[in-house]
Amino acid sequence: MTHHIMAITYTWWRGDDLPLLPSLPDFRCEPVTDVPLLTKLLNVEATKIEARLADANTAYVAFIQDEPAGYGWSGASSVGVGEMFWPIPPNSRGLWDFFTLESARGRGVYPHLLQAILRREQHEAETFWLGHRVDNFASKRGIEKAGFSLVNWVVLTPERQLRLVPRDHLARSHGDPQGMHMGFAEVADEDMKPFDFGGLSDEEIHRAL
């Protein structure tokens, strides 16, 4: 029976290579606790920002020429997508909810932002995890450019359960916090195909599960 590939997960471990990226003049990345700024960038209520910051999440904002160009979060407690969250084990970080502003797209902001976070936090954590929807090819390119390695596919089983299927770097794949929460499965390649999101958002998908 068909298993639908929903997302792809990646990891970077302390000591892994950080590939040289093309120069991005006037780029900088900073941790930000300015709730009004984050509320404006994320277009959410201040209470959501405050809750994230209180739950061991660090917000990072990328700037080009002192103007916000994108953002992302590093979580030491829990991370998630839509309405689904999973815990992050000690000595690890979950990288999540990244976005590049439209005015800065096509300039390589995402991989620069990821590497800036890795350089800043690699002395505090050993393993870093993140993922993207299977249809988000821009995220895939940015993550791979930053130096992350693919580890798992997130699949929707015929029983409508989410499971992780190890793909590469098998010695690392079972350390994936998302898989430790949802569980792993062995599925033959011929029994998997990409899910057709049909324009649905992450929140709409998870509400339907």
Question: Could you write out the DSSP letters of every residue in 70-113?
Answer: EEEEEESSEEEETTEEEE--TTEEEEEEEEE-GGGTTS-HHHHH
- Mean predicted lDDT score pLDDT of the chain: 94
Q: At 171, is the pLDDT very low, low, confident or very high (cuts 50, 70, 90)?
A: confident
Judge whether residue 204 has pLDDT over 70. Answer: no
Model pLDDT, residue 203? 58
Per-residue pLDDT band for 209 (boundaries 50, 70, 90) equals: very low
Give pTM, 2 decimals. 0.93
pLDDT tens, position by position, 55-90: 999 999 999 999 999 999 999 999 999 889 999 999
pLDDT at 18 over 80: yes
Between the CA of residue 26 and those of 17, 31, 119, 164, what are the distances in Å? 24, 17, 18, 39
Q: What is the CATH superfamily name and number for domain 3-208?
A: Gcn5-related N-acetyltransferase (GNAT) (3.40.630.30)
The residues spanned by each domain of the chain are 3-208
pLDDT band at 169 (very low <50, low <70, confident <90, very high): confident
pLDDT digits (tens, 9 = 90+) for 101-115: 999 999 999 999 999
pLDDT of residue 192: 95
